[in-house]
Amino acid sequence: MTETPLTPVTDRIIDRSTLEGFAFGFFCSLCADEWRGARLAFNPGAWADPIDPAVFRILWLDQHAAAYERAKLDASFVFNRCPICGRIVCDRCFHASESGVTDICNLCYHHIKEAVV
């Protein structure tokens, strides 16, 4: 039912929304593990049942966009952008140093480490 393209947070996302609610999955660029945001229920409000299809569509699309923005915000606490390669990776695939100087993805970290040795 999505009409507008979703602005990506990661290289790969999946829209798991249904007519009853909204859910989105975000994938790590390195390990490809999926992180799923909280599922939010569709709320038609005080509209009479059965709801007019045109009104349903407007309400659903509006709430879908809002749910995606919420999921993107939540995902921003789980994913990190590597300043070297630009990949967006999960916390497990991100090498965070104590000094904060070498906060990069694990792949870039290993490449640099091999080059130094």
Whole-angstrom distance, CA of residue 39 vs CA of residue 22? 6
* Domains: count for the chain: 1
pTM: 0.80
pLDDT at 3 exceeding the cut of 60: no
Domain contains 24: yes
Across-strand partners of 40? 22
| 90: alpha, beta or left? (left if phi > 0; alpha if psi -120 to 50) | beta
| pLDDT score for 9 | 76
Per-residue model confidence as pLDDT tens digits over 7-66 = 667 889 999 999 999 999 999 999 999 999 999 999 988 766 777 889 889 999 999 999
Q: Which domain holds residue 21?
A: 12-116
pLDDT at 106 exceeding the cut of 90: yes
Domain contains 6: no
SS3 95: strand
Domain contains 3: no
